[in-house]
Amino acid sequence: MKFARSVWKILVAIKDGLVLLLLLLFFGGLYALLTLRPAPGMVHPGALYLALEGPVVEERARLRPAQLLSGGGRMKAVQERDLVRGLEAAATDDRIKAVVLDLDEFGGGSQVAMTRIGAAMDTVRRAKKPVLVRARLYTDDSVQLAAHASEAWVDPLGGALVAGPGGTNLYFKALLDRLKIKAHVFKVGTYKSAVEPFIRENASPEAKEALGAVYAALWDAWQADVKKARPKADLALVTGDPVKWIAASGGDAAKAAVAAGLVDRVGDKVAFGKRVAEIVGADPSGGEGAFKGTELTPYLADRTPASDGKAIAVVTVAGDIVDGDAGPGTAGGDRIADLVDKAAASGDYAALVVRVDSPGGSVTAAERIRAAIARMKAKKIPVAVSMAGLAASGGYWVATPADRVFAEPATITGSIGIFAIIPSFEEALDRIGVGTDGVRTTPLSGQPDVFGGFSPTAEAVIQQEIDSGYARFVGLVAEARHKSPADIDKIAQGRIWDGGTARQLGLVDEFGGIDAALAWAAKAAGAKTWHPVYLGADADTFGTLLEGLADSESGGGDSHAFGAQLLDPAAPAGDFAALAAQQQGALAQQLASDLARLLGGAGAQVYCLECAGLTPASAPQPRAAAGTWLALLARLAG
């Protein structure tokens, strides 16, 4: 009996200890949540400090618990509308004396995004507040932002490089031939170059023609924006003979950037911080070069968005359009359609604005989103589409129900075409001594057979489905644009267009950003006062905690230790080598995406592959099936 009591006491002690541990974990988590989440009242008079870590994106991806547990984390990114809202608010906020942009870890963004951010920087400057920008190495996107600054600084070991649009795609036909893998391609569209990497060893003349025209339009628009904001910039010198340009400054790239008028001053982080401190005041609690100020996240938490008047729903279609509930940051067809349907059923919204920044993707997912938008429109709710940097292929498919389509001159759109790619491995298997055989009851039994090969009947049926999908795509566009299918077919064929040409062709109604689209939607709804509501933008508490923890682990978060940030050692004089590594990383990502598209069994696609080089990097999301095919490919290659 005495032994039993002793055991009982031990069990009770263990239970009490576990309860205490759980309570400690609970309150520890609660404390972390309260400290990680910004709250009103955390704004300090001084500078609005904007550290642009990662690319500027239309919609920031959320961290999933599994990513944190696996140590994967997420790619840092800055949401464009948050950055613009912060800049525009700073222009009228007496607490903000200056705006500081730190571009050391900037990952670029679409040209449309850079133009919109530059316009917001101009708003701050018109309010007689300085905008200071600093980076180690300026490239096209950061040069465009620096042009809108009142002071642009470059590190003594840095410089500037203007490359213009253009680059390299990967082509796999010779590799597939060597591995005896057949890429069965089904497409409609002379210019549908999304399939060319698998059937050609280089780009077709048609693809080069279409892409060259778009690049020329983007390049002209970029130069016009930079020259207007910074007339003294000598772009002809910088782009005409870069070697001669840098050599004229004794090989010093930083001094060459100043000589060409791309930036104003050379200085390290400490010197830059002291200059900011002259304007907004030094932070005595920081180190050398620390200045007073507030970061973007707590600043936006302090600036509650207006909620007067009628609500205008905004749904964002950003990233690849895929089947299922993926996103934010990826356009999951089911998720976005559900958001639109719930908004329509609620009766809370006077109008809908669809913000599109996508190269397209799954036909079924794009159709799911389009149908939901059409259902909302059928309820006599005005619908506007606002195209960001990219609204091509499936990104245009979802835009077809709109009453009004807005785009920017640098928007990439069109690519009205459809394709499917399915590999087969009969020759590869025969090469390693594996044969196939069986019994069929119909011409389609076991088809499409990726191991034994496609029958002529299967190939004909699939091509008929692709032809039908293209006819539906053209028909949707023709109905939306009040043209005949024949007229649309002439400008379709998978060809991409810049926003200006798309407007001339009737694919776009009006130039303007999301503000113009919102204003039109409000007017169409008869709303004198209104406010936008971004559907699906509310982060859950647990997700916010996870993201805060992830940012803290990676050195991010809401730290106000500007001095510590400014005292970080400058990068070695290998920034141009780092740029080369970044380009290699982009090609590696393209390789992963292309192989996933070939081997992932994604079905019919409305996707703009040629647009991939014109958007910020994002993590590819191959389907689960792709892993099996990639493993087989690796085995065959070995």
Say if CB 555 and CB 336 are below 8 A apart: no
- Whole-angstrom distance, CA of residue 118 vs CA of residue 319: 23
Nearest Cα neighbor of 296 from 91, 34, 550, 48 is 48
Tell how strand 56-57 and strand 310-318 pair up: unpaired
The question of whether 393 is a catalytic residue gets the answer yes
- CB-based contacts of 138-141 (< 8 A; 24+ apart in sequence): 138/103, 138/257, 138/262, 138/263, 139/108, 139/163, 139/579, 140/108, 140/164, 140/165, 140/222, 141/106, 141/108, 141/109, 141/111, 141/114
- Beta-carbon count within 10 A of 90 CB: 27
Catalytic residue among 129, 192, 269, 483: 192
DSSP 390: E
3-state secondary structure 399-423: CCCCCEEEECCCCEEECCCEEEEEE
Tell me 571's DSSP state: P
Which of these, 176, 172, 183, lies nearest to 601 by C-alpha position?
A: 183
CA-atom Rg of the chain in angstroms:
27
As a whole number of angstroms, the distance between CA 273 and CA 292 comes to 10
Residue 194 is classified by DSSP as G
- Run of H or E including 151: strand 151-160
Burial of 442 (0-12, 13-18, 19+ CB in 10 A): exposed
Neighbours of 4 (CB within 10 A): 8
Catalytic residue (choose from 110, 362, 386, 393): 393
Mapped to the 3 state alphabet, what secondary structure does 340-378 carry? HHHHHHHCCEEEEEEEEEECEEEHHHHHHHHHHHHHHHC
**379 given a catalytic annotation:** no
- CB distance 392 to 414 below 8 Å: yes
The SS3 call for residue 97 is: strand
Closest listed residue to residue 489, CA positions, set 500, 505, 511: 505
Say whether the peptide bond before residue 165 is cis (omega within 30 degrees of 0).
no
Quote the CA–CA distance of 111 and 214 in Å, as a whole number: 12
Q: Which residues of 222-253 are buried (b: 16+ CB within 10 A; e: fewer)?
A: bbebbeebbeebebebbbeebeebbeebeebb
Structure tokens at 302: 């302090």
Distance (Å, rounded) from C-alpha 368 to C-alpha 334? 7
Cite the active site residues: 192, 393
